[in-house]
């Protein structure tokens, strides 16, 4: 059985670690942070923390960079004014969208093959 003292300590440490990661992430990437809802912010901070914990000590920086680059890249894509339209079109066929459908031969001709 876990003692109440250890449970309280674990809870306090967890809260402090989460707050620190959230604050650092928000400080370093304010535009991304501001664009996220609370669930997104939790996921962003969690991904950063998990990268740190999962990597060997000598690889923690590069592991966090990988996470930050992925989140930044996703944020950049979402800033494109065409993003919403692309999301709305996703999952629909050309026929459903009223667009032409080309055979391989016709497509080859169109691109000069």
Secondary structure of the chain in the HEC alphabet?
CCCHHHHHHHHHHHHHHHHHHHHHHHHHCHHHHHHCCHHHHHHHHHHHHHHHHHCCHHHHHHHHHHHHHHHHHHHHHHHCCCHHHHHHHCCCCCCCCCCCCCCHHHHHHHCCC
**pLDDT of 102:** 83
**pLDDT of 57:** 94
Q: Assign 108 a pLDDT band (cuts: 50, 70, 90).
A: confident
Taking residues 70-96, report their average pLDDT: 91
In this prediction the pTM is 0.71
Q: Assign 113 a pLDDT band (cuts: 50, 70, 90).
A: confident
Q: Assign 109 a pLDDT band (cuts: 50, 70, 90).
A: confident
The candidate with the shortest Cα–Cα distance to 22, out of 40, 4, 10, is: 40
């Amino acid at each position: 059985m876990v003692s109440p003292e250890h449970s309280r300590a674990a809870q306090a440490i967890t809260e402090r670690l989460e707050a620190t990661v959230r604050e650092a992430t928000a400080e370093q990437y304010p535009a991304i942070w501001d664009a996220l809802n609370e669930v997104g912010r939790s996921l962003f901070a969690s991904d950063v923390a998990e990268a740190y914990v999962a990597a060997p000590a000598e690889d923690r920086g590069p592991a966090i960079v990988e996470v930050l680059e992925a989140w930044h890249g996703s944020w950049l894509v979402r800033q494109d004014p065409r993003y919403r339209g692309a999301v709305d079109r996703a999952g629909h066929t050309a026929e459903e969208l009223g667009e032409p459908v080309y055979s391989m031969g016709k497509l080859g001709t169109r691109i000069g093959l």
